[in-house]
């Protein structure tokens, strides 16, 4: 648009919990290590397809090691969230990034999920849904007490805001 300033979405204010980096690292290890171990064992045991298995193992490590090292830190720089009196705003992803905004008046449910790994690190995933089948906002890696407070606060604001949520 000529003669106008260039617009961009700013980063949401709050970082997620630092422990999320460890959580994402463990999750990445759980993805990479079993594959590498299985390939390694098979390569040690089976004679004939060994070159193929070794190639697959090398490929797994070449992709997997940077993934385990880089992805969690990258995510930590991208994943951010913010809630105002009017809206919830969150950014997520690492290579592929996503910004989501949902107005308070359209929020239908707010809930948290804690998997076994997240419980270990005292983390929660907060999910905010609207009437749209596609509009849910997910905030990963929040401290579980902060998440519980946030659920209470968002529910209260959403109820106080007029609107039928559709």
Partner 1 sequence: MTDAEDIAWQKLDKRTLGVTTAGMLGVCVAIGVPVTSGLINNDALPVPLVLLLVLSGVVVVVGAVVLYDYLRIRKTWFRVTDEKVELRTGILRRQHRAVHRERIRTVDVHAHPLYRVFGVAKVHIGTGEHAESEGSQLTLDAVSRSFADMLRDDLLTRPAPTVDSDEPVGEPPPVLAEFDLGWLRYVPVSIWPGVLGVAACGVAWQITDWFGLRDSVLGQAAELIRELSLWTVIPLAVVVVLVVGLVASLAFGVEAWWNFRLQRTGDTLQVRRGLLIHRSLSLAEDRLRGVELVEPYGARLLGGGRLEAVATGIRDNKPDQPGEDTKVLLPEAPREIAQRVAAEILREPESPTTADITGHPRAALRRRLVWAVAAVAVVEAVLVVVGMTVTSVLLDVAWISAIVLVPAALFAAVENYRNLGHGHTEDYLVVRYGLLARRTAALRRSGIIGVTVRQSPFQRRLGLADFTVTTAAGSGAFTAYDADDAEVLAVACRVVPDLLDPFVVRD
98 binds partner 1 (CB under 8 A): yes
**Helices 19-45 & 50-78 angle (0-180, nearest 10):** 180
The residues facing 151 across adjacent strands are: none
Which of these ranges, 33-41, 45-53, 78-86, 151-159, lies near partner 1 under the rule CB under 8 A?
Answer: 78-86
CA-CA distance, 114 to 144, in Å (whole number)? 8
Least distance between partner 1 and beta carbon 67 (Å): 15
73 binds partner 1 (CB under 8 A): no
CA-CA distance, 121 to 38, in Å (whole number)? 28
Which of these ranges, 20-28, 44-52, 59-67, 94-102, lies near partner 1 under the rule CB under 8 A?
Answer: 94-102
The CB-based long-range contact list for 95-101 (8 Å cut-off, 24+ gap) reads 99/9, 100/135, 100/137
Interface pick for partner 1 out of 45, 48, 51, 134 (rule CB under 8 A): 134
29 binds partner 1 (CB under 8 A): no
Question: Which C-beta is closer to partner 1: that of 75 or that of 106?
Answer: 106
């Amino acid at each position: 648009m000529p003669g106008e300033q260039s617009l961009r979405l700013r980063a949401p204010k709050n970082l997620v919990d630092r422990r999320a980096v460890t959580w994402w690292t463990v999750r990445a290890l759980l993805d990479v290590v079993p594959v590498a171990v299985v390939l390694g064992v098979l390569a040690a045991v089976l004679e004939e397809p060994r070159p193929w298995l070794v190639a697959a193992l090398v490929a797994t490590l070449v992709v997997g090691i940077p993934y385990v090292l880089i992805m969690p830190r990258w995510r930590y720089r991208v994943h951010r969230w913010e809630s105002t009196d009017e809206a919830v705003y969150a950014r997520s992803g690492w290579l592929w990034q996503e910004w989501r905004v949902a107005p308070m008046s359209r929020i239908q449910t707010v809930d948290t999920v804690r998997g076994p790994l997240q419980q270990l690190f005292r983390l929660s995933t907060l999910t905010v849904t609207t009437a749209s089948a596609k509009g849910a906002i997910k905030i990963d890696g929040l401290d579980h007490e902060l998440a519980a407070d946030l659920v209470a606060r968002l529910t209260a604001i959403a109820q106080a805001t007029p609107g039928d949520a559709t």
